[in-house]
Every structure is written in structure tokens, then in C-alpha cells.
Amino acid sequence: MRSPLSLFPLYSLLSLSGGLTPNDNSPPLKYANHIFNAIQDSMRQWGSSLHHNGVSFFLATVPAGTQLYHGTSKSSPVNGTEWLAFEPEHAMVFARPRRGPPPGAPPPGDDHDDPERPEGRHGELRRREPRGPDGRHTDAWPDNFGEDDAGYLHTYVAAEDLRLLYVDGMSAAKTSKGTLDSQDILLFNGSVGDRPDGGPAGENERARLACEMAENEWGGRIDGLLRMEAGFEIILCAFERDLTLLRITQVKPQDKDEFGPKGGHEHGGREGRKQDNDGKRRGPGGPPRGGPGRGPNSSRWMRAVTARYHGIGGNRVSLNYDHFVTAFSYDVDLFQDESGLPRLGHLSRSELEAIRRDITTLITTHDATEKSKDWQVIADMVVTRYSKDLSYFVSGKINSMEALQAEIERVMSPYIDYSDRNDVVEAQRCATQFLPPHSLDSESLAAHSVYSVAHSICSKLLEADKGTDFESAVQILRDLVDYLDWTTWKECRGCAPDELCVVPIWPMGTVQDYESPSCKNASNPYDQDGESYWGGMRH
């Protein structure tokens, strides 16, 4: 186990202008492609939805003055820990009356995380009261009685720069596909227990643990967690400390237009909808329906959220890309199942603890606001330059070696000195094109990952160019495309104004949406047949 900082001690000082390669003794960066993609996908709904198992942790800041939203059944400001959305439409999903239990019903908390219930999806949009006199958390269930039969949208403004830990991927998605590994297994050390009834572990628990870590292990240097589901959200530990209330407005009562047809007969209601005979959740990839707790009509929500496919926008979040922690930089095998997505459950306790320690060190020694290079824009330069060419080269539209060589030479020509051909030098010039000077002198994981990926592209192009056999030349490029696994290649082209490009975003979407996202009716983006991508819920 090595810490990220120990990975590059051997690099000699490099002169980029001299076109030298990194020292051959430098340790290989095993998952450079995944680190590159984590940087490229960060704070983007699109890439983070496809690469939904994040194993990276970034320091993030949200500047003072940023508007943030909270949806609830309550018309009074939040005091304590709660969830905040970046898009009001996301918060509005939770702006609805809480359905109080009949007298004698099970205690509150039962529906937490039930994706069938919007308030459960976030768990507990109830206010978390500070500890009561007996030292226990006094979840304010009784307060909910007597509330208006209405929902409220709270608009807050960050009173100061918020200091957050960004857990990447779709880390707010309550699934069993690995989206929670980085929190439940790594950050929280397996202490988010499954509920006794077999339901998913509670979001309340994650919020409580995160805020305890913020206070105790992280020296009060973190105000909350930044995560993504259908929209980016913050678990903010102290609303009253960090936010100023701008307004609280009552939302339109949610009727059947917002929540789908009433009655639930089409799926047999709350019980019948859950499972088919074989226990597998089937049917529309749309939000689950049926019963009073049916999922919301996703149209308004998804139109807003998909507007952020390519970035949260407005500099509402800045990440520190010079210093971050990712499981991809450790000497561990993260790909042990067939999904092609990283998991953490098989890591040993000492491996997990080493990463957790590095997260604590990151937080206690760095800030999101310190001067750092924006490696995402540099990664973007690589992707936008090569994405289209590479997909063309493997598209089957090129059908001779001569034609392929001409295309590759077009791409590589800026790096070739025709009076002095030299593969090594040409690959190096090409690979360092977008790198700031001297960036490889440092131990920056981002710098070395971007360099490594760019170098793979450039050297594979040269290798394919030198081949004599057309099929094997194309195969080299196909392998490169597989290795890169850029989400740009799954983007829809030319959706109409009343359509959205649909990819699975928990709990919605089908296997088909994951394999080949396509333009769908924006009024009804997920109302379709097909096997649910997310399968059964986590338990």
C-alpha cells in the first residue's frame, strides 16, 4: 500500500522543452485512465452517471452567495443537518406534505431511503434537531403532525464559502451496484448497518457519521458532503451556521400530473409493484409508481438536471485537482466483478484504513480554495481533441491501411520533424502538448494521469500507423478506445427541443439506456419498457 504522494518520488526533473520522457524507473500508474476519467467526469451529471461508482474524494468549495434549495413539508427554517440541492427542481421533488403514520404505526424512519417515496429517497427531509436533553437525537417526528398539508421550497444562500468533501460518481444513489462503496465501506468503515427489516441503510446514518467525522477527525475543516444522484446535493451539517435564508415558498400541491396516475392499479399498488414472481424488479425504467408513495413524474426534475450534464455551471463548485485522494492510485485491484466498475468491498481493512488516513491528511493539510491547477480543463482539451477522431478511426468507415495512415498522419503531423523522424520524441511532443510547463516535476496525480493517458493515445496512434496489417492496426485503436472509456462516446446527437438524452440515473433507467443512451420524450423521459438498470434496491 502506498499513499498517492509516494507514487512519484523517482521522477527526475523533466524539461518539457527538451522532450524527455519520465524516468523509466517511475512506477506505472495502473489506473491512469480511470483517474483521468474521474477528473473529467467530476461535477458533471453525464460522466458521473455512466461512471457511477466513484472511488475518489476531492476538496470542494461552494462560494458564498450561491443559492441552494431544500424541499420539505415544513415552513420553518432548518436548524441542524439536512440536504441541499443545486437545482430547485431537484429540491421540489421533496417539497410535499409528509404522510404521517396512522396512530400505532411503526416509528418514523421506516420509509427512509425507500425510493418509492420521495421523502424517503433523501431519507428524512425532516429537520434533524440537535441532541435533546437526554443526549439522544430527537428526530422531530411529532412536529410533523399539524403541519400544513403542503410542501415548501426553501431557498438559502451560502453565508460563507462552504468547505465540502466531494464523493464522486453517483454517490447519493442508494443502490447495491457500488455507488455507496466509497461512503459505507471506506469512509464510514462499515458502520452504516443494514436496517433490521432488511431495508437499505439510512441516509440519516450517513449524514450523522459524516458530520461527526467533520467535527472529530477532520478538525471542523469540512462543512458537509457533496454528492450526486439525479442532481448534485450537499449534506450540510449546520444549516443555521452556514446559510442565510432567502425565502420559503409553498409549492403547488402535487397532483397526478406530478406523481403519475393515481390508484396504482397498473402495477398492483404498493405491494404488487415491488417485485415480479422471480423477485426481480421489472417494468418501466421510469420512477417507481403505485400507491401513495409512488415516485414523482420525472419530467420537470430531469429537464433541470440534464441541463447540468456537462457541468454544474456558474463556478458554483471548485475542486482542488492538485491534491485529492482516489482509490485508483493505490496498489489494489478494484475490478473484481464483471460490471467493469470499481468496487471496494474486497479490500482489506488495512488497505481501506490507509486510504481513509490519506483522506484525513488531505483535509487537514489542504483547502479547496488554495491555488491549484484546473486539471479538468486540461483533460477536456485531450478529450475534445481526440474523441471524434478516435471514434471515426474505429467506426468502420475507413477501409484501407493507406487511408488509416493518412488520417493518423493528419493527427500526428504537428509533432513530426520530417527531417528527423523519431517515434519516441513524436509521442512525447504529442503527449505533453496540453501540459503546463514542469507539471511532471511534481507528484501531482492529475498531471501524471493526464500525461499517461495522452501518451497512450499518441503512442498507440504511432503504433497503428507503423503497422502493415490493417485489421491489427484498427484493433490497436479499438483497444485504445476501450481503455479510454470516454463517456463522450455515449452522448446522444441532435435531440429535439422536447427531448432529453436519457441515461440511467438512479432509480430510473433501463439496461438499454446504459448501453446506448438515446433521445427520449422529455415529458416522459423514463416511461418505457425494459429491464431496470438498477435492479432491486439495496439490501
Among 297, 428, 528, 532, binds ligand NAG (CB under 6 A): 297
Among 190, 220, 253, 437, binds ligand NAG (CB under 6 A): 190
In angstroms, rounded to a whole number, what is the distance separating the alpha carbons of residues 363 and 60? 10
Q: Is 54 in the site for ligand NAG (CB under 6 A)?
A: no
- Please answer whether residues 311 and 48 qualify as being in contact, where contact means their C-beta atoms are separated by less than 8 angstroms: no
Nearest to 487 by CA among 70, 44, 179, 68: 44
Q: Is 168 in the site for ligand NAG (CB under 6 A)?
A: no
Q: How many CA atoms lie within 13 Å of 347's alpha carbon, on the beta-carbon side?
A: 28
| Helices 401-412, 445-466: crossing angle, 10 deg rounding | 140
Residue 289: CB minimum distance to ligand NAG, A: 9
Among 115, 123, 200, 260, binds ligand NAG (CB under 6 A): 260
Among 99, 373, 521, 530, binds ligand NAG (CB under 6 A): 521
One character per residue 359-398, x = contact with ligand NAG (rule: CB under 6 A): ----------------------------------------
Among 189, 360, 442, 512, binds ligand NAG (CB under 6 A): 189
Q: Is 126 in the site for ligand NAG (CB under 6 A)?
A: no
* Integer angstrom CA distances of residue 301 from 49, 175, 391, 516: 15, 20, 32, 22
Candidate ranges 42-50, 149-157, 361-369, 517-525; the one touching ligand NAG (CB under 6 A) = 517-525
Candidate ranges 3-11, 26-34, 57-65, 297-305; the one touching ligand NAG (CB under 6 A) = 297-305
Q: Which is nearer to ligand NAG, 240 or 479 (CB)?
A: 240
- Please answer whether residues 436 and 379 qualify as being in contact, where contact means their C-beta atoms are separated by less than 8 angstroms: no
Task: Provide the phi-psi class of 116: left if phi over 0, else alpha when psi is between -120 and 50, else beta.
Answer: alpha
Q: Is 527 in the site for ligand NAG (CB under 6 A)?
A: yes
Residue 276: CB minimum distance to ligand NAG, A: 22
Nearest to 68 by CA among 163, 191, 168, 159: 159
Residue 498: CB minimum distance to ligand NAG, A: 7
Q: Which is nearer to ligand NAG, 106 or 133 (CB)?
A: 133
Q: Which is nearer to ligand NAG, 78 or 226 (CB)?
A: 78
In angstroms, rounded to a whole number, what is the distance separating the alpha carbons of residues 214 and 399? 58
Residue 305: CB minimum distance to ligand NAG, A: 14
Q: Is 79 in the site for ligand NAG (CB under 6 A)?
A: yes
Residue 100: CB minimum distance to ligand NAG, A: 23
Q: Which is nearer to ligand NAG, 299 or 488 (CB)?
A: 299
The maximal CA–CA distance of the chain, rounded, in angstroms, is 87
Among 96, 300, 429, 538, binds ligand NAG (CB under 6 A): 300
In angstroms, rounded to a whole number, what is the distance separating the alpha carbons of residues 43 and 317? 8
Q: Is 73 in the site for ligand NAG (CB under 6 A)?
A: no
> What is the radius of gyration, based on Cα positions, of the chain?
25
Q: What is the DSSP string of 283-338?
A: S-SSS---STTPPPP-HHHHHHHHTTTT---TT--EEEEEEEEEGGGSSS----ST
In angstroms, rounded to a whole number, what is the distance separating the alpha carbons of residues 45 and 36? 16
DSSP state of 143: G
Q: Virtual CA dihedral for 359, 311, 296, 201, nearest 10 degrees?
A: -10
Q: Is 257 in the site for ligand NAG (CB under 6 A)?
A: yes
Candidate ranges 367-375, 430-438, 458-466, 522-530; the one touching ligand NAG (CB under 6 A) = 522-530
Among 21, 361, 442, 523, binds ligand NAG (CB under 6 A): 523
Candidate ranges 200-208, 292-300, 340-348, 401-409; the one touching ligand NAG (CB under 6 A) = 292-300
Written as one letter, the residue type at 365 is: T
Q: What is the DSSP string of 159-221?
A: SS-EEEEEEEESTT---SSSTTIIIIIIITTT-SPPPTTS-PPPHHHHHHHHHHHHHHTSTT-
Among 240, 271, 402, 417, binds ligand NAG (CB under 6 A): 240
Interface with ligand NAG by CB under 6 A: which residues? 79, 130, 189-190, 240, 257, 260, 297, 299-300, 353, 521, 523-524, 527
